[in-house]
Structure 1
Amino acid sequence: MSYIQEVLKKVEDRNRDEHEFLQAVEEVFYSLEPVIEKHPEYKETSVLERIAEPERQIIFRVPWVDDNGVVHVNRGFRVQFNGAIGPYKGGLRFHPSVYVGIIKFLGFEQIFKNSLTGLPIGGGKGGSDFNPKKKSDGEIRRFCESFMTELYRHIGPDVDVPAGDIGVGSREIGYLYGQYRRIRGAFKNGVITGKGLKYGGSLARKEATGYGLLYFVEEMLKANNNSIKGKVIAISGSGNVAIYACEKATELGAKVVAMSDSAGYIYHADGINLDTVKRLKEVERKRIKEYVKEHQGSKYHEGNVWEGKFKYDIALPCSTQNDIDMERAKNIIENGAIAVGEGANMPTSNDAIKFFLKKEILLAPAKAANAGGVATSALEMVQNSMRYSWSFEEVNNKLKDIMINIHKSACEASKEYGLGYNLVAGANIAGFKKVAEAMITQGIY
């Protein structure tokens, strides 16, 4: 049994039934085999064992009262995974599927994603099994206030800086920050990112993950003597990441023909009308199927978009983890895709990743390709510390430079260890080495 297999066995024994977390650790660790061989100091100082164990896990009760006066109790989480290169940084997810294994997988991925940005931020993640759907503004406010009443004691601008994720948008961030400010009695706007522009938010933050994904995919295609212009794209999801990935793809000359939500997907051969999708999802909060009532020639299908039979060049999974399994990966290739760009966190299963690489499909891994959101959150932290705001163009230009540099780092790391053009391994290696060296330098903790 190899050293990496031994460590994975220990991680599995300690974290049984946390399937998403174990999947994330396995995907990273197997990429690191050539690194461990070249750097015995990582084994000697047990860096793998330490990096797979969170520095701190916080689980707490969140009681709240609905509009009918009924008391409900949810569970809150914050996992501060690794702070070797900076304060913990990562979003809060409010979704009924949330449990400690989901938060740990997201926090583990965040370590390497944040490292790749080149900015001084460590990895963390949090959330709750609270479902914000079909809740009134009052119910969401009361839940957020209760959640922050416990979380506030564990976060701070130099300690841990949460942001939004699935189920946590500008409304929730506003309520969370308002409660933090009331408790602390101070305007510490660097403690949460994704804030409104009137109280310390950053321009381009809303667009950042989707835009960053396209900047990365654009670099990936360029590196392989190709272009995004004229390509046909399918996207899973219709939330923030998907919407702005669609917007930037269209700006770059591509045509998006499919988007989805949890119930089904729309296909529009002439190209998705993004204004309609934005209104349905961001303003009216309706299902994606309503799109076809307004656009002749479009069709709605129940089920997963990656099971659909239609032609496209690029697949952009922007919804949730494990959206693409082996069968869906095969279908994506049969539909003619030459590239996959991961906009969501871990949207592709490990066997599907191996299949894509074997078939020489260009694959932009999530921890690199969707790092634009956290990168711009870190830029928001910088602006907060300066009490200053950059223009949309300034933030967007910085974002693009960061994504280009992430691609370059992943590329160089892959080549250094004789892996050719493998961005999956390259991103893991580049992200890991920076954190590992910081951990060794700081001693055993």
Structure 2
Amino acid sequence: MDPTLISVRDEVFRRNPGETEFHQAVVEVFDSLEPVLRKHPEFRDAAILERICEPERQIIFRVPWVDDKGQVQINRGFRVEFNSALGPFKGGLRFHPSVYLGIVKFLGFEQIFKNALTGMPIGGGKGGSDFDPRGKTDAEVMRFCQSFMTELYRHIGEYTDVPAGDIGVGGREIGYLFGQYKRITNRYESGVLTGKGTSWGGSLVRPEATGFGVVLFVEEMLKTRSLSLDGQRVIVSGSGNVAINAIAKAQSLGANVIACSDSQGYVVDESGIDVPLLREVKEVERGRMTDYAKRRGSSATYVPGGSIWDAGATVALPCATQNELNADDARTLVKSGVLAVAEGANMPCTPEAIEIFQEAGVLFGPGKAANAGGVATSALEMQQNASRDSWSFEHTERRLTEIMVNIHDNCAQTAEKYGSPGNYVVGANINGFVRVADAMLAQGVI
């Protein structure tokens, strides 16, 4: 690795101790940048690397709320506004017990480059809380969201920072957050949050966008080998919004999606996942994959614990959480004949797993490219809010498809240009980095 990259990497580790996910995200990008520094020495001279690894602003705050028993509960809230060179900070909010500063910074750092790849005028940020909405009543979730927004509102705005949903933050949570923002500010500022309901400023296709986008990216990768999703055996990890919509889109293109999962186990359904039933169990009843298996009947087998990747597939879409697919899982998939892997979640594959896929010649789509459809459609939602307009499902899906095809082609062309043909990791990292670095250079030392 270039000495400058090593020096900056080591300084990131020193200044951000214990934040292992953030360290991993930085190293993953830095591993691609040596040829960029050779071609663009001005980035080195202007300390672009040092600046891009340091958030513009980090906000940590207390979130007190009262549960249904009248007991006061305390959680911690975060918003890391990482880089605004291309536009207002943009990135989701995650409500999950695992959330701490290192997770939020890793997600925010990834978001810088993901957002740049879309070609839309949005910067990178991320936020969330260690609050767990699972098992909470609607009233408890509402009180938490109102308390969370009571602090967050002063840091966000359509020209400043535009949050959205992530794990644990769906339409219900966005609604409570937006209502409190409107109440505090006395403004109907639709563009301050994305992922809203379609009757109050939301965009059609936004709920489907991340899942649809990752499948569209896979389809473009397969085309480079004169293949398609039609007839492929597909595994999708997770069973949340991204996973469900990835399953639906893959099936619409002729794939047989035979497995999905939650944190307790996975289901193998050789006749194909029943998407309407899965939506009912997960989105309406907020149930588990065990409930799906019981309702589905004899065609579905529930496997508690274990690894979903043991089911074998020609296409694998990890859509659950970070570092869920390790080296052993990658070897299992390679042995089963996997042709393509695309990340629907943020950094779900470990570095060792990615290396195994690439050495085996497996097409690999990194999350910052493959799952950029969600934030791209959020930017389309912002466009509609700014013009007080509302687009049809067909028009918005067409725009999403154009963006995902462009992301794929730009990554492929950049990888070729910098001497790593077919390496979408290199292509995504360099293309996103150069877009942001050029803007930072133009705007001076800020």
Match of 1:303 among 298, 302, 305: 305
- Please report how far the alpha carbon of residue 305 of structure 1 lies from its aligned counterpart in structure 2 after TM superposition: 3.5
What does residue range 110-121 of structure 1 map to in structure 2 within 5 Å?
110-121=111-122
The answer to which of 158-167 and 329-338 deviates more is: 329-338
Deviations along 1:18-58, one digit per CA (max 9) or x if unpaired, are 00000000000111111111111111111111101100000
Deviations along 1:309-342, one digit per CA (max 9) or x if unpaired, are x331001000000011111111111222111010
Secondary structure at the aligned position of 2:134 is classed as coil
Q: From the superposition, tell whether residues 140 and 280 of structure 1 become closer, same or farther in structure 2 (CA, over 3 Å).
A: same
| Partner residue, 1:344 | 345
| Partner residue, 2:367 | 366
| Partner residue, 1:2 | 3
Secondary structure at the aligned position of 2:239 is classed as coil
Secondary structure at the aligned position of 1:266 is classed as strand
CA distance, structure 1, for counterparts of residue 330 and residue 152 of structure 2: 39
Secondary structure at the aligned position of 1:403 is classed as helix
- Please report how far the alpha carbon of residue 17 of structure 1 lies from its aligned counterpart in structure 2 after TM superposition: 0.5
CA distance, structure 2, for counterparts of residue 287 and residue 342 of structure 1: 23
- Please report how far the alpha carbon of residue 206 of structure 1 lies from its aligned counterpart in structure 2 after TM superposition: 0.3
Secondary structure at the aligned position of 2:322 is classed as coil
| Partner residue, 1:330 | 331
- Please report how far the alpha carbon of residue 223 of structure 1 lies from its aligned counterpart in structure 2 after TM superposition: 1.4
- Please report how far the alpha carbon of residue 307 of structure 1 lies from its aligned counterpart in structure 2 after TM superposition: 4.7
- Please report how far the alpha carbon of residue 3 of structure 1 lies from its aligned counterpart in structure 2 after TM superposition: 1.5
CA distance, structure 2, for counterparts of residue 129 and residue 311 of structure 1: 34
| Partner residue, 1:356 | 357
What does residue range 145-164 of structure 1 map to in structure 2 within 5 Å?
145-164=146-165
| Partner residue, 1:92 | 93
CA distance, structure 2, for counterparts of residue 297 and residue 204 of structure 1: 31
- Please report how far the alpha carbon of residue 141 of structure 1 lies from its aligned counterpart in structure 2 after TM superposition: 0.2
| Partner residue, 1:64 | 65
| Partner residue, 1:259 | 260
Secondary structure at the aligned position of 2:211 is classed as helix
What does residue range 108-257 of structure 1 map to in structure 2 within 5 Å?
108-257=109-258
Alpha carbons 2:307, 2:329 under 8 Å: kept: no
CA distance, structure 1, for counterparts of residue 201 and residue 85 of structure 2: 26
CA distance, structure 2, for counterparts of residue 311 and residue 102 of structure 1: 30
What does residue range 279-318 of structure 1 map to in structure 2 within 5 Å?
279-294=280-295, 295-308=297-310, 310-318=311-319
Alpha carbons 1:259, 1:305 under 8 Å: kept: no
Deviations along 1:153-177, one digit per CA (max 9) or x if unpaired, are 0000000000000000000000000
Secondary structure at the aligned position of 2:419 is classed as coil
The letter of the residue matching 1:229 is D
The letter of the residue matching 1:305 is S
Secondary structure at the aligned position of 1:242 is classed as helix
Secondary structure at the aligned position of 1:31 is classed as coil
Q: From the superposition, tell whether residues 307 and 407 of structure 1 become closer, same or farther in structure 2 (CA, over 3 Å).
A: closer
Q: State the TM-score, normalizing by the size of structure 1.
A: 0.99
The letter of the residue matching 2:265 is G
CA distance, structure 2, for counterparts of residue 411 and residue 261 of structure 1: 33
The letter of the residue matching 1:186 is R
- Please report how far the alpha carbon of residue 304 of structure 1 lies from its aligned counterpart in structure 2 after TM superposition: 4.1
Secondary structure at the aligned position of 1:90 is classed as strand
CA distance, structure 1, for counterparts of residue 158 and residue 330 of structure 2: 41
Secondary structure at the aligned position of 2:36 is classed as helix
**Structure 2: unaligned runs, 5 residues or longer:** none
What does residue range 362-441 of structure 1 map to in structure 2 within 5 Å?
362-441=363-442
CA distance, structure 2, for counterparts of residue 423 and residue 406 of structure 1: 10
CA distance, structure 2, for counterparts of residue 305 and residue 238 of structure 1: 14
Q: From the superposition, tell whether residues 41 and 304 of structure 1 become closer, same or farther in structure 2 (CA, over 3 Å).
A: farther
Alpha carbons 1:80, 1:88 under 8 Å: kept: yes
CA distance, structure 2, for counterparts of residue 130 and residue 292 of structure 1: 29
Q: From the superposition, tell whether residues 304 and 43 of structure 1 become closer, same or farther in structure 2 (CA, over 3 Å).
A: farther
The letter of the residue matching 2:423 is N
Secondary structure at the aligned position of 2:31 is classed as helix
Q: From the superposition, tell whether residues 156 and 304 of structure 1 become closer, same or farther in structure 2 (CA, over 3 Å).
A: farther
Number of residue-to-residue matches in the alignment: 444
Deviations along 1:57-83, one digit per CA (max 9) or x if unpaired, are 000000000001100110000000000
| Partner residue, 1:107 | 108
Deviating above 2 A after TM superposition, structure 1's stretches of 4 or more consecutive aligned residues are 304-308
The answer to which of 220-229 and 49-58 deviates more is: 220-229
CA distance, structure 2, for counterparts of residue 15 and residue 93 of structure 1: 21
Percent of pairs identical after alignment?
A: 58
**Structure 1: unaligned runs, 5 residues or longer:** none
CA distance, structure 2, for counterparts of residue 144 and residue 172 of structure 1: 7
Secondary structure at the aligned position of 1:292 is classed as helix
The letter of the residue matching 2:250 is A
Deviations along 1:205-250, one digit per CA (max 9) or x if unpaired, are 0000000111110001001221111101001000000000000000
Alpha carbons 1:81, 1:123 under 8 Å: kept: yes
Secondary structure at the aligned position of 1:327 is classed as helix
CA distance, structure 2, for counterparts of residue 277 and residue 333 of structure 1: 28
- Please report how far the alpha carbon of residue 302 of structure 1 lies from its aligned counterpart in structure 2 after TM superposition: 1.2
The letter of the residue matching 2:236 is I
CA distance, structure 1, for counterparts of residue 401 and residue 309 of structure 2: 32
Secondary structure at the aligned position of 1:201 is classed as coil
CA distance, structure 2, for counterparts of residue 415 and residue 264 of structure 1: 40
The letter of the residue matching 2:436 is V
CA distance, structure 2, for counterparts of residue 307 and residue 281 of structure 1: 21
Alpha carbons 1:236, 1:305 under 8 Å: kept: no
CA distance, structure 2, for counterparts of residue 256 and residue 129 of structure 1: 33
